Amino acid sequence: MTLFALADPHLGFGVDKPMDIFGFRWQDHVSRLEENWRQLVADGDTVLIPGDISWAMQLQDALPDLQFIDRLPGRKILSRGNHDYWWSSLAKMEQFCRSEQLTTLSFLRNNGILLEDCRVICGTRGWILPDDPDFSPADRKIFERETGRLRLSLEAAERIREPGDRLLVFLHYPPIGRNRSMNSLTSLMTEHQADLCVYGHVHGEAAGSCYQGTFENVQYRLASADYLGFKPLRL
CATH of the domain at 212: 3.60.21.10
User: Average pLDDT over the chain, rounded to whole?
Assistant: 94
Asked if 68 and 56 count as a contact pair (C-beta separation under 8 A), the reply is: no
Q: In residues, how long is the chain? A: 235
Expressed as residue numbers, the domain containing 61 is 3-234
The whole-number pLDDT of residue 9 equals 96
Total of domains in the chain: 1
Nearest to 102 by CA among 73, 69, 130: 69
What contacts 167, CB < 8 A, 6 or more positions away? 119, 120, 122, 154, 157, 161, 192, 193, 194, 195, 196
The whole-number pLDDT of residue 228 equals 95
How far is 123 from 25, CA to CA, in rounded Å?
28
Q: What pTM did the predictor assign?
A: 0.94
156-191 confidence digits (pLDDT tens): 999 999 999 999 999 999 999 888 889 999 999 999
65-71 own/partner pairs: CB under 8 Å, 24+ apart:
65/11, 65/12, 65/13, 65/14, 66/97, 66/100, 66/102, 66/105, 67/100, 67/102, 68/11, 68/13, 68/30, 68/34, 69/9, 69/11, 69/104, 69/105, 70/102, 70/103, 70/104, 70/105
Handedness of CA 224, 227, 230, 232 (dihedral sign): negative
